Amino acid sequence: MSDLKKELFNTLNKLDTEQRNPDTKEIDLADPLEIVQLMNNEDQKVAFHVEKRLNEIAESVELVSDSINLGGRLLYFGAGTSGRLGVLDAAECPPTFGTEPHQVQGFIAGGEDAMFVAQEGAEDSEEIGAKDFLNVNPTKVDVVCGLAASGRTPYVLGVIKKAQEMGIKTIFVTTVPKSQLKVQADITIDVPVGPEVIMGSTRLKSGTAQKMVLNMITTGAFIRQGKVLENVMVDLKLTNEKLVERAKRIITTFGNVSYSESEKLLTESNGHVKTALVMSLGSLDREEAKSLLGKNDGFIRKALQNLN
């Protein structure tokens, strides 16, 4: 065995995500109900582990929000399940928050093909990670978020190291303890969920934990950008009929207007829900509403308070 292979073997022996779960050792003999009960029992533990890192997640929310204010981007990099979760979170931001596609981007080792068919060898090179990172033309106002359940994925470490060399802020999301990491980011969110139901299958608890963390980071950052009124997303893009009808419902609810009036407001605002709401709530025309929103950084509540 080569020294490199021996080092990897020894590393895997120590990683939390590669240990056997003592509570699921009989799962191969279990019936379907027992299998899903065992899995559900393990999944219930994930939220409690995430709770222990809320301070770090909140720091990440502020870091990403500040970056967006400066015209920066949130750039996710990962491999396998972790990479797919980053791509998924990035893809869901535009329809949910009306963001531009470039503001949150996800990249996976092996490229687009790896989203659908596993490209296992693609994660083994720090050099490829660094190269892929440079290909997105990073700037110092961007934020890089590395995703690696094991904390050791070479592709992701290559990205983090290159970002640090360039003076770019970094976040690292992992599901092993910080003590097992060989890289230190500006913010490390380590959520050690413990051994998986099936040893090494990090698409399970590790994937769930990472999805929860990414949900919090982008949702929190865009709440800080004025994309939400009370607890309703009001900057959605009307890309299908469901979202068009949701927009009308939002306008009728907050604006206290009829369905036909909400249609009229939506048309007059060129399909921009926040503008339509300010038009309705402030008795303003489209240009006045747009101007007021602009002066208040897109926050509807602030806009209306200043109008009053």
Q: Is residue 100 part of a domain?
A: yes
pLDDT at 12 exceeding the cut of 60: no
CATH of the domain at 257: 1.10.8.1080
Total number of domains constituting the chain: 2
**Catalytic residues, which ones?**
92, 123
CB neighbourhood size of 28 (10 A): 8
Phi, psi of 273 (to 5 degrees): -65, -45
Task: Dump the DSSP string for 235-249.
Answer: -----SHHHHHHHHH
Burial of 100 (0-12, 13-18, 19+ CB in 10 A): exposed
Query: Do residues 147 and 256 share a domain?
Result: no
Q: Is residue 166 part of a domain?
A: yes
- Crossing angle of the two packed helices 54-69 and 205-223, in degrees rounded to 10: 50
Query: Do residues 140 and 41 share a domain?
Result: yes
Sign for the pseudo-dihedral over CA of 48, 93, 91, 161: negative
CB neighbourhood size of 226 (10 A): 20
Q: Is residue 106 part of a domain?
A: yes
Query: Do residues 159 and 262 share a domain?
Result: no
Q: Which structural domain range is residue 233 located in?
A: 228-307
Query: Do residues 264 and 130 share a domain?
Result: no
Task: Look at the pTM and tell me if it is higher than 0.85.
Answer: yes
Final residue of a domain: which of 168, 200, 223? 223
CATH of the domain at 52: 3.40.50.10490
Least Cα distance to 75 among 159, 160, 142, 139 occurs for 142
Q: Tell me, what's the pLDDT at 120?
A: 67
Query: Do residues 235 and 214 share a domain?
Result: no
Query: Do residues 14 and 161 share a domain?
Result: yes
Query: Do residues 286 and 217 share a domain?
Result: no
* Residue range 130-173, pLDDT digits in tens: 999 999 999 999 999 999 999 999 999 999 999 999 999 999 99
Q: How far is CA 281 from CA 85, 119, 274, in A?
A: 38, 52, 10
Q: Is residue 287 part of a domain?
A: yes
Query: Do residues 140 and 252 share a domain?
Result: no
Q: Is residue 88 part of a domain?
A: yes
Contact 173, 109 (CB under 8 A): no
Query: Do residues 106 and 239 share a domain?
Result: no
Instruction: Return the structure tokens found at 127.
Output: 């050099």
Final residue of a domain: which of 198, 223, 248? 223
Query: Do residues 200 and 246 share a domain?
Result: no
Contact 284, 294 (CB under 8 A): no
Q: Is residue 1 part of a domain?
A: no
Instruction: Return the structure tokens found at 249.
Output: 């419902």
Q: Is residue 5 part of a domain?
A: no
Q: Is residue 2 part of a domain?
A: no
* Residue range 58-111, pLDDT digits in tens: 999 999 999 999 999 999 999 999 999 999 999 999 988 989 999 999 999 998
Query: Do residues 216 and 233 share a domain?
Result: no
pLDDT at 10 exceeding the cut of 60: no
Residue 25's pLDDT band (boundaries 50, 70, 90)? very high
* Residue range 243-260, pLDDT digits in tens: 999 999 999 999 889 999
Q: Which residues contact 302 (CB under 8 A, 6 or more apart)?
A: 226, 296
Final residue of a domain: which of 191, 223, 255? 223
Side-chain-side CA neighbours of 277 within 13 Å: the count stands at: 25
Query: Do residues 87 and 135 share a domain?
Result: yes
Per DSSP (E only), the strands in the chain are 74-78, 104-108, 143-147, 169-174, 187-190, 228-229, 232-233
* Residue range 170-225, pLDDT digits in tens: 999 999 999 989 899 999 999 999 999 999 899 999 999 999 999 999 999 999 99
